[in-house]
């Protein structure tokens, strides 16, 4: 493969590049969650990030490094909705146009927010159309740069800044995470975080949390090669349905992750309800996957210090209303 594998230094450089543009999301602790889990749980709510998910970090880190003279047409990206918003917002800050290829069944809120950040949206059918082919054609036609959702060293390093902050903030609380768990789609977030976490404390175990049926990362870690999911749609976690881990992200994951766990739609809904009732945080389904892994004990939490990433909060009001009233 021709990717350069990013390092801890790339994460530091990304943090420098992002400067104050990314929100330094807090690391928060809620007694009700500690009591419920018999653990010390430190939450990193990337729900509070610019655009409502961690995706701004990687998108800005990649887009701000582009040689604009080579890409007069700006940038093109494929996304179910959070990378879309991250790319649109980062492009606007960098003064570039953005065009995002989004599945027709993406949450309305995500499509509307992408447009609000200045993104032009083209939709496709998840089951029958090839989003990568659509994106490639648009890049050629427009002389635009393609910003992958996860499998790119600048994107991974950018997402890793969440892990860097997490470790700095834990240290300020005199805490060393025994376990870090983050939601996983293609793996950009969890591997970026792992780069930072494992450099700063090699003993910390990093886990990916995926939807049941879309646990390609967990199965790939178990088998040692990139596994594919049987389905392309069908989870409540609209943000976490990719076919297979990235080449680059899997290469990092096999070196740094302790393992992966899968959570059911019901477990995700229960985690979202818990976040509403006890944490007073709005978390979208995919964003709650790691919290579901913590609440169900699918990652080993008992008596340990656990850092849990809430990766996004962009959920349609109707779905959120349904879930909190169950």
Q: Does 283 bind its own copies (CB under 8 A)?
A: yes
Q: Are residues 163 and 14 in contact, defined by beta-carbon separation less than 8 angstroms?
A: no
CA nearest to 68, candidates 41, 97, 42 = 97
- Binding segment (CB under 8 A) for its own copies, from list 48-56, 57-65, 211-219, 295-303: 48-56
Q: Which of 64, 208, 235, 311 is catalytic?
A: 311
Q: Which of 4, 9, 16, 29 binds its own copies (CB under 8 A)?
A: 29
Distance separating alpha carbons of residues 104 and 13, to the nearest angstrom? 36
Nearer residue to its own copies within complex by CB, 32 or 137: 32
Nearer residue to its own copies within complex by CB, 72 or 317: 317
- Binding segment (CB under 8 A) for its own copies, from list 6-14, 41-49, 155-163, 197-205: 41-49
Q: Does 281 bind its own copies (CB under 8 A)?
A: yes
Asked if 55 is an active-site residue, the reply is: yes
Return the H-helix or E-strand segment holding 207: strand 205-211
Shortest CB 282 distance to its own copies, Å: 4
Q: Does 285 bind its own copies (CB under 8 A)?
A: no
Q: Are residues 193 and 180 in contact, defined by beta-carbon separation less than 8 angstroms?
A: yes
Distance separating alpha carbons of residues 304 and 177, to the nearest angstrom? 8
Count of residues of this chain found to bind its own copies when the rule CB under 8 A is applied:
30
Q: Which of 52, 81, 163, 211 binds its own copies (CB under 8 A)?
A: 52
Nearer residue to its own copies within complex by CB, 243 or 324: 324
Nearer residue to its own copies within complex by CB, 27 or 263: 27
Q: Which of 44, 55, 198, 298 is catalytic?
A: 55
Q: Does 111 bind its own copies (CB under 8 A)?
A: no
Cα 39 to its chain centre, rounded Å, is 24
Distance separating alpha carbons of residues 191 and 289, to the nearest angstrom? 16
DSSP code string of 251-269 = HHHHHH--EEEEE-HHHHH
Q: Does 324 bind its own copies (CB under 8 A)?
A: yes
Q: Are residues 6 and 58 in contact, defined by beta-carbon separation less than 8 angstroms?
A: no
Residues in region 294-313 near its own copies by CB under 8 A: 313
* Residues 6 or more apart in contact with residue 117 via CB below 8 angstroms: 51, 85, 88, 89, 92
For residue 28, the 8-state DSSP code is B
Distance separating alpha carbons of residues 267 and 88, to the nearest angstrom? 31
CA nearest to 151, candidates 123, 106, 192 = 192
Shortest CB 311 distance to its own copies, Å: 11
Nearer residue to its own copies within complex by CB, 109 or 194: 109
Shortest CB 141 distance to its own copies, Å: 32
x/- track of binding to its own copies for residues 71-110 (CB under 8 A): --------------------------------------x-
- Binding segment (CB under 8 A) for its own copies, from list 7-15, 25-33, 194-202, 252-260: 25-33
Question: Quick one: three-class SS letters along 47-89?
Answer: HHCHHHECHHHHHHHHHCCCCHHHCCCCEEEECCCHHHHHHHH
For residue 313, the 8-state DSSP code is -
CA nearest to 143, candidates 97, 176, 107 = 97
Shortest CB 80 distance to its own copies, Å: 18
Q: Which residues bind its own copies (CB under 8 A)?
A: 23, 25-26, 28-32, 45, 47-48, 50, 52, 109, 276-283, 313, 317-318, 320-322, 324-325
Q: Which of the residues are catalytic? A: 55, 311
């Amino acid at each position: 493969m021709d990717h350069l594998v990013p390092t801890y230094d790339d994460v530091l450089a990304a943090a420098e590049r992002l400067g104050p543009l990314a929100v330094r999301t807090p690391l928060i602790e809620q007694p009700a969650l500690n009591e419920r889990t018999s653990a010390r749980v430190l939450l990193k709510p990337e729900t509070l990030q610019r655009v409502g998910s961690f995706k701004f970090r990687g998108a800005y880190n990649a887009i701000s490094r582009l040689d604009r003279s080579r890409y007069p047409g700006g940038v093109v990206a494929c996304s179910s909705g959070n990378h879309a918003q991250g790319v649109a917002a980062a492009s606007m800050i960098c003064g570039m146009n953005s065009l995002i290829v989004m599945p027709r069944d993406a949450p309305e809120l995500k499509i509307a927010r992408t447009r609000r950040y200045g993104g032009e949206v083209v939709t496709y059918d998840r089951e029958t159309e090839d989003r990568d082919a659509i994106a490639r054609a648009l890049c050629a036609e427009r002389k635009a740069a393609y910003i992958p959702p996860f499998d790119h060293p600048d994107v991974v390093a950018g997402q890793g800044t969440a892990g860097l902050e997490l470790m700095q903030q834990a240290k300020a609380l005199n805490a060393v995470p025994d376990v870090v768990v983050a939601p996983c789609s293609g793996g950009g977030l969890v591997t970026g975080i792992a780069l930072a976490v494992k450099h700063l404390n090699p003993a910390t175990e990093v886990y990916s949390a995926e939807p049941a049926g879309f646990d390609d990362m967990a199965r790939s870690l178990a088998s040692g090669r990139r596994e594919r999911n049987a389905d392309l749609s069908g989870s409540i976690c609209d943000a976490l349905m990719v076919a297979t881990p990235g080449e680059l992200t899997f290469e990092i994951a096999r070196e740094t992750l302790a393992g992966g766990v899968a959570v059911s739609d019901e477990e995700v809904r229960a985690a979202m309800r818990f976040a509403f009732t006890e944490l007073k945080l709005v978390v979208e389904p995919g964003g709650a996957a790691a919290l579901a892994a913590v609440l169900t004990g699918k990652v080993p939490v008992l008596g340990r210090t656990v850092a849990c990433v809430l990766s996004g909060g962009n959920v349609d009001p109707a779905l959120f209303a349904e879930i909190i009233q169950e």
